[in-house]
Amino acid sequence: MVTSAPQTPPLSRARLRRDRSPEHATANRFIPHVQGLRAIAVLFVVLYHFWPGRLSGGYVGVDVFFVISGFLITAHLARELTATGGVDLGQFWARRARRLLPASLLVLLFCAIVTAVPLLTPTSAMPAEVREILAATFYVENWYLAFSSADYLALSGEPTTVQHYWSLSLEEQFYVIWPLLLLLAAWVAVKWLRGDRLRAAAIAIGVVSVASFVFCVVYTITDPAPAYFVTFTRMWQFGVGALIALVPRLRTNNAALSFVLGWAGIIALLYTAFTFDGQTVFPGYMALIPTLGAAAIIAASNTDRWWYPTRLLSIPPMRFTGDISYSLYLWHWPLIVIAPSVPFWGLTIYHRVALLGICFVLAWLTKRFVEDPVRSWKPLTSRRPRVTLWASLGAMVLVGAVAAGGWAANISSYQQGVQAIEDARENPPECFGAASVLEEGCADAAPDTILPAPGFAGADSPDQGECFIQLNDSRPVACEFGSDAPDAPRVALVGDSHAYQYLATFAAIAEREGWHLTTYFKGACPWNATPLATPGSFGAACSDWRDAVGQKLVDSDFDVVFTSAISNTPYASAGYDSSYDAAVAGYQAAWATMTDRGIPVVTVVDNPVWETDPNKCLRTRDAAECTGARSEVLVENDPLRAAAEGADGVTLLDFTDVYCDADTCYPVVGGANVYRDQDHLTVTFADSLAPQFTAALREAMESSGD
């Protein structure tokens, strides 16, 4: 995302060679309504991050930025190409560095410092924060996320403060690739097309854009998680903006056509912002709607009447927001991530509105005192481009060094925290965790110390990530634990990440009891016969995994099967009155494949799911201040409960009264820190439920043998 500033008309060739950046890249003049479009884009993203439930498709604002950047950058490069016959790459990249890096590196430096402060960043999260700060500093964050997005567990907790830099990284890669593409097209034009450089550029961009769009559609279907971040799946969106800049016929000053195009574009953007959500297949072909909507608004140039969208987008508040959009985008996300950890700060509507105001103030200050001064700083602008580029590299190395230094200062605390988790698992205190509620004599004997500490709860997860199948993988991967004796009772543990959270606990039970444990896990894919409502390859992979695991269960001689699942999984409702009814029927059908053969099933009602990781609150507040209303964090009508009640051969465990009383749910129970993120249990707390799990499994096996 880049911001623009007014361009002075008719430029000399020398001036053209100096002023090479998107803020000057208009056709021949500053276009105010593009600033307004930029304001819409940044407001979409910011409001989506503040209130995702209210603007579920606000993430399309990033796509709008891509179109704007493609238009502005290409218009500028085309003017230089026409005027000089080439592109001064050094000057172009130096301008980009002076324009974008000061604000970007300032925010990254802020994030690096915050990461080193344990009160604001959990120590267990520091390795991930430092890795992503380094990736963002050197503009490869989108590729880092593309690779790590294949790991469902890596993204299941709280995001880092710099995760939003993926789009900036992608744009920087565009700034490197695009002028090289245009220079190649110009060379081809001189050699074979009679010197028509712009025509050659349009053809080259058209070919690249078509190829990118096809790749985007196919890759989104086959592997949607990394497809969202990969550079080439997004290049066509820059290309759409570029073609508007290169082909004059795609822009219109006709009053009626501008009116229709402009309002159609705005309606398209509003439609996507309010109707798209996390289940939308995206980017893929659905990205055409916001992309073409943004393109239509750019193409509509007539501003004769006040009711024309181009005129409305040019009003001062929209232009002001567009001016600060780059810094606003940079600041808003780290503040959202950090705010819940700040003492005396909450998540009420008033806190969110105040934080939004703070974001605008910081964005204006950054624009006024960082972006604009550095862009025209004479020690850089009066020297060769390589001075700017070397200075930029030095600043990037400095930010990286600060991030690495913060990690070095906290590494001993990190190691101590990890050791504390191991100690708590091996030797828990008396009346600890669930025992404080479930065991007689423990009502007033719970320990005061919170274990694991809020700064390390995020690291208290099962260690066997190889047993957890993710995203589009449908292989029925099995892991084996416990006794290898031929006559050892055989237990299966099956389900999604809310089954995986019990893996370490069940492995310890199997070892202790002399049982043999076999596990099958897949992220966001419960053991249920009803298809997910999630479209595309992810939903298909879940169905394929279930079929394969179901066959494994049928072919194996298990004594009991344990399963659990998150309560808010979206199920396809076709053939049922509701998604809830479909989920209930699906559980019963899946379990019947075991119970009909006399193999008992044990399951558990899901734990509460919080809006944000309660450890953020626990790091700075007393546990009594970090509770959640039962009506807000607990799904009372868990379809798993309804499926189990009254079903033959199914044992239902319900620990709701451990997590909650009649009105309130608690993040700390009996001194045990319950959650490692907003919805997954710590292994330490899950271990405190081991006696109940052991008894239920033993009783189920004994009853099936009668």
**561 three-state secondary structure:** strand
What residues make up the domain containing 620?
Answer: 434-704
Half-sphere exposure for 480 (CA within 13 Å, toward CB) = 8
DSSP string across 604-664: EPPPP--SS-HHHHHTTS-GGGS-EEHHHH--SS-HHHHHHTT-TTEEEE--HHHHB-SSE
Contacts for 573 with CB less than 8 Å, ≥ 6 apart: 533, 579, 581, 582
For residue 188, count other CB atoms closer than 10 A to its CB. 15
**Helices 316-323 and 32-50, interaxial angle, to 10°?**
70
In contact, 678 and 665? CB cutoff 8 Å: no
For residue 449, count other CB atoms closer than 10 A to its CB. 9
| Domain annotation covers residue 2 | no
Chain mean pLDDT for the chain: 89
Half-sphere exposure for 681 (CA within 13 Å, toward CB) = 29
Please tell me whether residues 71 and 203 are part of one structural domain.
Answer: yes
The pLDDT confidence band at residue 175, using thresholds 50, 70 and 90, is very high
The pLDDT confidence band at residue 706, using thresholds 50, 70 and 90, is low
Alpha carbons 604 and 381: distance in angstroms, whole number: 66
Q: CA nearest 87: which of 194, 184, 173? A: 184
Task: Tell me the sheet residues that pair with 602.
Answer: 562, 651
Please tell me whether residues 557 and 658 are part of one structural domain.
Answer: yes
**Using only C-alpha atoms, what is the Rg of the chain?**
28
For residue 55, count other CB atoms closer than 10 A to its CB. 23
Return the structure tokens found at 577.
């009155």
- Chain length of the chain: 706
The pLDDT confidence band at residue 6, using thresholds 50, 70 and 90, is very low
Please tell me whether residues 617 and 539 are part of one structural domain.
Answer: yes
Place of tokens 């009420």: 348
DSSP 8-state code for residue 681: B
- pLDDT, one tens digit per residue, over 678-705 is 999 999 999 999 999 999 999 999 987 6
Q: What pLDDT score does 28 carry?
A: 41
Report CA-CA distances (Å) from 610 to 121, 192, 564, 640: 19, 63, 18, 19
Domain count, the chain: 2
| Domain annotation covers residue 127 | yes
Q: What pLDDT score does 538 carry?
A: 81
| Domain annotation covers residue 3 | no
DSSP 8-state code for residue 680: P
Alpha carbons 266 and 310: distance in angstroms, whole number: 10
In contact, 4 and 322? CB cutoff 8 Å: yes
For residue 384, count other CB atoms closer than 10 A to its CB. 12
- pLDDT, one tens digit per residue, over 633-681 is 999 899 999 999 989 999 999 999 999 999 999 999 999 999 999 999 9
Alpha carbons 52 and 46: distance in angstroms, whole number: 9
| Domain annotation covers residue 426 | no
Average pLDDT for 482-497: 96
Cα dihedral across residues 317, 318, 324, 328: positive or negative: positive
Alpha helices, DSSP H, located in 223-254: 224-227, 231-246
Please tell me whether residues 298 and 443 are part of one structural domain.
Answer: no
| Domain annotation covers residue 53 | yes
- pLDDT, one tens digit per residue, over 131-148 is 999 999 999 999 999 988
Work out the percent of the chain whose per-residue pLDDT is above 70. Answer: 93
Please tell me whether residues 190 and 312 are part of one structural domain.
Answer: yes
Q: CA nearest 104: which of 191, 33, 2? A: 2
Please tell me whether residues 383 and 496 are part of one structural domain.
Answer: no
Average pLDDT for 92-115: 95
Average pLDDT for 383-394: 92
Q: CA nearest 651: which of 700, 605, 705? A: 700
86 backbone dihedrals φ, ψ, rounded to 5°: -160, -170
Please tell me whether residues 52 and 154 are part of one structural domain.
Answer: yes
Alpha carbons 219 and 207: distance in angstroms, whole number: 18
Report CA-CA distances (Å) from 641 to 562, 583, 603, 656, 681: 14, 11, 9, 11, 19
Alpha carbons 607 and 208: distance in angstroms, whole number: 48
Q: Is 487 exposed, middle or buried (0-12, 13-18, 19+ CB in 10 A)?
A: exposed
User: pLDDT at residue 505 above 80?
Assistant: yes
Please tell me whether residues 494 and 634 are part of one structural domain.
Answer: yes
User: pLDDT at residue 29 above 60?
Assistant: no
- pLDDT, one tens digit per residue, over 340-353 is 888 777 777 888 99
| Domain annotation covers residue 131 | yes
Final residue of a structural domain among 360, 391, 407: 407
Average pLDDT for 182-186: 89
User: pLDDT at residue 405 above 90?
Assistant: yes
The pLDDT confidence band at residue 25, using thresholds 50, 70 and 90, is very low
Q: What pLDDT score does 703 carry?
A: 86
Return the structure tokens found at 197.
């450089």
Average pLDDT for 251-265: 91
Alpha carbons 321 and 356: distance in angstroms, whole number: 13
Please tell me whether residues 244 and 361 are part of one structural domain.
Answer: yes
The pLDDT confidence band at residue 154, using thresholds 50, 70 and 90, is very low
SS3 assignment for 310-367: HHHCCCHHHHHHHHCHHHHHHHHHHHHHHHHHCCCCCCCHHHHHHHHHHHHHHHHHHH
341 backbone dihedrals φ, ψ, rounded to 5°: -90, -10
Please tell me whether residues 169 and 40 are part of one structural domain.
Answer: yes
Average pLDDT for 109-131: 91
- pLDDT, one tens digit per residue, over 299-309 is 998 877 878 88
In contact, 497 and 566? CB cutoff 8 Å: yes
Domain at 490, CATH number: 3.40.50.1110
Q: Is 351 exposed, middle or buried (0-12, 13-18, 19+ CB in 10 A)?
A: middle
DSSP string across 499-534: HHTTHHHHHHHHHHHT-EEEEEEETT--S-SSPBS-
Please tell me whether residues 391 and 450 are part of one structural domain.
Answer: no
Q: CA nearest 510: which of 483, 477, 470? A: 483
The pLDDT confidence band at residue 19, using thresholds 50, 70 and 90, is very low
Q: What pLDDT score does 705 carry?
A: 64
User: pLDDT at residue 402 above 90?
Assistant: yes
Question: DSSP 3-state helix, strand, coil percentages of the chain (rounded to 5)?
Answer: 60, 5, 30
| Domain annotation covers residue 417 | no
Q: Which helix H or strand E contains 665, and what residues bound it?
A: strand 664-665
Alpha carbons 454 and 672: distance in angstroms, whole number: 10
Final residue of a structural domain among 392, 407, 422: 407
**9 three-state secondary structure:** coil
Please tell me whether residues 69 and 211 are part of one structural domain.
Answer: yes
SS3 assignment for 258-293: HHHHHHHHHHHHHHHHHHCCCCCCCCCHHHHHHHHH
| Domain annotation covers residue 19 | no
Return the structure tokens found at 66.
């891509």
Question: Residue 454: is the preceding peptide bond cis (ω within 30°)?
Answer: no
Contacts for 422 with CB less than 8 Å, ≥ 6 apart: none
In contact, 453 and 673? CB cutoff 8 Å: yes
